[in-house]
Amino acid sequence: MATIYGGYTGRVLKIDLSLKKVYEYPFSDKERELYIGGKIMAAKILYDNINEKTEPLSPDNYLVITTGPLTGTGAPSSSRFNISTLSPLTNLLTSSNCGGSFGIYLKKAGYDGIVITGRSENPIWIEITDKEVQFHDAKDIWGLKISETQSFFGDKCGKLVIGPAGENIVKYASIFSDERAAGRAGVGAVMGYKNIKAIVARGNNTVNVHDKEKLKNLYKDWVKKLKNHPITGKQLPRLGTAGLLSVMNARKMLATRNFKYGQYKDFEKVSGEYLAEKYLIKNKGCITCPIQCGRVVEVEGKQVKGPELETLGLLGANIENSSLEHIIRWNYVLDELGMDTVSAGVTIAFAMELNERGLWDCGLEFGKIDNIEKTFEDIAYRKGIGNLLAEGTRALSKMFGGEEYAMNSKGLELAAYEPRGAVGQGLGYAVSNRGGCHLNGGYLVVLEGLALSMDAYTKKSKAALTILFQNLMEAASACGSCLFTTYLFIPKYLLEHPNSFLTKVSLWFLKNSSPFVNIINTLPGKFFKFNVSRLPHIRALKYVTGMNMNFGILKEIGERGYNLERMVNIKRGINAKDDTLPKRLISEYQDSRDKRSIVPIEDLKKDYYKIRGWDKNGIPSQKRIKRLRAFGG
């Protein structure tokens, strides 16, 4: 379907695996205006095609791969693409973002996205070019690990592949493009169920833009701002996301011993600083990314991707392991197997606590690391206890008990941020559409201690700020941009002068900002017809697509997307009772001397629902849905 807008090829490919037929999926310019691309575009496709009876592991489930309009235009940090589906781990909509090259090559092949339904009778790999789509027998590559599968296809093409974990339907299997993972909630299990080992894209299509000259100048200025910002220009290049671990430990935000504590006595041994000092070979980044936050380390004589924050925290402090050398190797092993390090780490920690409490004699113990690598292999191939661990923490708690310390929300294991040290982040985990996700939750922890020092325990303004951040991050992701680019929203001065009078005043304002922020959250976008220099995405979208774009339109696109994903999950049976956290985090004080050190989830939810325009059951009001035109029209 042709388009008048730049940044798009104008075509979405639909593949019916059961029939081995291909079609063009209709997606209009009106839909592009409302949903932009990426995860929001995918949410609309899923809303239109799945219902309460659709099983994640069934031919009827849709696997939707989408790019954003900035993808392939050379925008800084814009190689991102999205994979959405119904998760076999949570039974809800999930979206997983990836920084590999596949999205760029998919556009070269002439498509903005792929919609996959049905199931192949036998394992296959799919080749997509600007001329045709072909189905190939995958018998020669079925069973291969991630790097072996990537190598099979050579260079000069985009590759999406799964490893043994995906083939064996591990509920938190990932999909890989290059070394980057679409990691969370089992998208790799869906691909494995559908008997797709790999999808390869190549072609010579070019992405047209609306105003090439203005875009060139904007991108130059955008890169300059990223390089001059304290986080994207200094902290992330120097230490990567791993640099956050020491800060989290100091702020009592580092998940330790299955989230029982917020600090780990040996944190320095698994910190980003120690990684940089002892093991870092060089930095690496995604295509078009000036930040270069990736770490390159050595395993088995090969230079490979190093562990990021979540892996360091959840395979370090959270299982009481202080061996960084082991974490580096485990990170490589899990990537090769095609498995999410977050869910794997949290599931292992939960099993350790079950064992400690006498509920499951699984042989896993806190601080004992000699059997961890074998356990990961057993999970990927579903052998022994690995067959049960492959189901995740929620399923294990139903088998053995311990639900109050099974660290998940809506079935998705929590990230490494201990929310009793950052209650706004706790709210985000609880209301996140895909479950215990720090990013879909709004990442308020960045204000609560990681970058700024807003009161981490106060309830004031936390719901309002969570909603604002969720909406803006949804929009940035949908346009094809890395979420790290939204760090520009935090003024450089506040980061460089944490003890200044202006910074203290700003933090006081943040704490009391709810009335102001809620003007932005609740008024229609038409009241905000201006640009925000700290969000270059606005002008980038305008110059790339030719659409009318301003702050109001952008924030409303994000709000529309967030509510649309919520409506997909409501079809799946979600309501207010599911927007919660494990009992440990909402009723057990992290510090018995500090009565603030729990997540006051019900109070925060009440504020959140009211601002979102959701009723007491967590369902968006018809008035809000109509205003957002969430379903088109």
pLDDT < 50 positions in the chain: none
Let me know if residue 379 belongs to a domain: yes
Quick one: 395 and 446 in the same domain? Answer: no
Let me know if residue 426 belongs to a domain: yes
Are residues 208 and 261 in contact, defined by beta-carbon separation less than 8 angstroms? no
> In 54-202, where do the E strands start and end?
63-67, 81-86, 93-98, 113-117, 124-128, 133-137, 158-161, 175-177, 180-182, 196-201
Q: Which run of H or E residues covers position 336?
A: helix 324-337
Let me know if residue 209 belongs to a domain: no
pLDDT of residue 633: 58
- pLDDT, tens digit, 9 for 90 and up, residues 586-630: 999 999 999 999 999 999 999 999 999 999 999 999 999 999 888
Let me know if residue 220 belongs to a domain: no
Alpha carbon distance 86, 187 (integer Å): 8
Tokens 């079950």 -> residue:
354
Let me know if residue 389 belongs to a domain: yes
Token couple for 356: 């400690």
Nearest to 450 by CA among 417, 474, 489: 417
pLDDT of residue 507: 96
Let me know if residue 222 belongs to a domain: no
Quick one: 377 and 438 in the same domain? Answer: no
Let me know if residue 633 belongs to a domain: no
Number of H helices and number of E strands within the chain? 26, 17
Quick one: 196 and 308 in the same domain? Answer: no
Quick one: 173 and 295 in the same domain? Answer: no
Quick one: 356 and 465 in the same domain? Answer: no
Quick one: 464 and 382 in the same domain? Answer: no
* Domain final position from 390, 413, 436: 413
In the chain, what are the helix, strand and coil shares in percent, each to the nearest 5? 45, 15, 45
Quick one: 433 and 401 in the same domain? Answer: no
Quick one: 319 and 190 in the same domain? Answer: no
Quick one: 245 and 114 in the same domain? Answer: no
Q: For residue 496, what are the domain limits?
A: 422-628
Sign of CA dihedral 295, 350, 406, 262: negative
Quick one: 456 and 565 in the same domain? Answer: yes
Tokens 């949290």 -> residue:
346
Quick one: 483 and 358 in the same domain? Answer: no
* Domain final position from 413, 442, 458: 413
- pLDDT, tens digit, 9 for 90 and up, residues 478-502: 999 999 999 999 999 999 999 999 9
pLDDT of residue 331: 98
Let me know if residue 302 belongs to a domain: yes
Are residues 124 and 197 in contact, defined by beta-carbon separation less than 8 angstroms? yes
* Domain final position from 413, 434, 452: 413
Would you tell me the crossing angle of helices 341-356 and 372-381 to the nearest 10 degrees? 110
pLDDT of residue 584: 98
CATH of the domain at 32: 3.60.9.10
pLDDT of residue 1: 62
CATH of the domain at 458: 1.10.599.10
CATH of the domain at 354: 1.10.569.10
Nearest to 515 by CA among 457, 455, 464: 464
Quick one: 557 and 517 in the same domain? Answer: yes
Domains identified in the chain, total number: 3
Nearest to 495 by CA among 454, 455, 535: 454
- For the question of whether the overall pTM of this predicted structure is more than 0.95, the answer is yes
Nearest to 97 by CA among 619, 604, 479: 479
